[in-house]
Structure 1
Amino acid sequence: MKVSEVMTRDVKTVRPDQSAQEAASFMLSEDAGSMPVSEGDRLIGMITDRDIAVRGVAKGYGPDTLVRELMTGDVLCARDDESIEDVAAKMSRAQVRRMPVVDSNERLCGIVSLGDLARETDDQSAEQALEGVSAPGGQHNQG
């Protein structure tokens, strides 16, 4: 089964010129700990609640800080034609619960979550990803 068959297509994103407060509000309304950052249909980064609450606060940034100052620009993505097993393995290695999905033109076309994998599959993919996400991580490198 391909990830395009289980991903969420209606992806909510934030722009790099929006404030951290706006990004946090979107995360709250979507009940998500991370949001893709896009310019048009191009994925340029991800911002997480941890980016805002830990890194931002540690550096003394306020709620008006722009998303571009806090986001992670090097984003691990899934391709829409990848198998769910391969994507689950990627999610496990990267220890992420949500992963953006891009098409062959590098355009953001969806997002896949552990919940999507669990709902739509009857194999070990979601379990594999969850085990990796839940495992103790190494040193965090978030700039």
Structure 2
Amino acid sequence: MRVADMMTPVSDPLSHATTLRQAATALAQSKLDQLPVAHEGRLIGAVSEHDLVDYGLARGLNADSPVFAVMSHYIDWCYEDEDIVDIVARLADADRESLIVLTRRHRLAGVVTANAPSRGGWGDADVIDVAA
């Protein structure tokens, strides 16, 4: 089974100018541990609850600060046509909770999360499309 076979559509990526408050709300609503961040149609990073709490609070940023100030600029990713079993193993080996999913044209396709509850019969992975 491919990563793309498990995707469920959700919202667009966050803008680099999204506030920390808006990012926290989007993360809570998505039930993902990270969301991609884009600027002018290009994927530039990802933001997690960890980024918001550990970096936002530690730096004394307020809730109206831009997500760009705390997001991770390094993006760990996979392709949508990769085998889901391989990706779950890769997540486990790297002790990661999720990966950003890209098309072969390097367009944002979604997020694959190894520890999310299954919705489609897969026991260890849940894939959420973050439509580009």
Spell out, residue by residue over 1:74-106, the C-alpha distance to the aligned partner (whole angstroms, 9 max, x if none): 111110111112211221133333322100111
1:22 positional shift: 0.9
Kept in 2: contact 1:99–1:112 (CA 8 A): yes
Runs of 4+ in 1 over 3 A off after TM superposition: 9-12, 115-122
SS of the residue 2:85 aligns to: helix
Query: Aligned partners of 1:69, 1:25: CA distance in 2, in Å?
Result: 17
Q: Which residue of 2 aligns with 1:137?
A: none
Larger radius of gyration: 1
Q: Which has the higher helix share?
A: 1
User: In the alignment, residue 13 of structure 1 is paired with which amino acid?
Assistant: P
Q: What TM-score do you get using the length of structure 2 for normalisation?
A: 0.79
Q: What TM-score do you get using the length of structure 1 for normalisation?
A: 0.74
Of all paired residues, the percent bearing the same amino acid is 24
Q: Which residue of 2 aligns with 1:33?
A: 33
Q: Which residue of 2 aligns with 1:61?
A: 61
1:6 positional shift: 1.1
Q: Which residue of 2 aligns with 1:21?
A: 21
Q: How many residues end up aligned between the 2 structures? A: 124
Decide which moves more: 112-121 or 58-67.
112-121
Q: Which residue of 2 aligns with 1:106?
A: 106
Q: Which has the higher strand share?
A: 2
Kept in 2: contact 1:42–1:106 (CA 8 A): no
Kept in 2: contact 1:36–1:45 (CA 8 A): yes
In structure 1, list runs of 5 or more residues that go unmatched.
128-143
Q: CA RMSD, aligned part only? A: 2.3
Kept in 1: contact 2:4–2:80 (CA 8 A): yes
In structure 2, list runs of 5 or more residues that go unmatched.
126-132
1:107 positional shift: 0.4
Q: Which residue of 2 aligns with 1:52?
A: 52
Kept in 2: contact 1:14–1:23 (CA 8 A): yes
Spell out, residue by residue over 1:13-70, the C-alpha distance to the aligned partner (whole angstroms, 9 max, x if none): 2111111111011112223332111235532211011111111111111112111110
SS of the residue 1:8 aligns to: strand
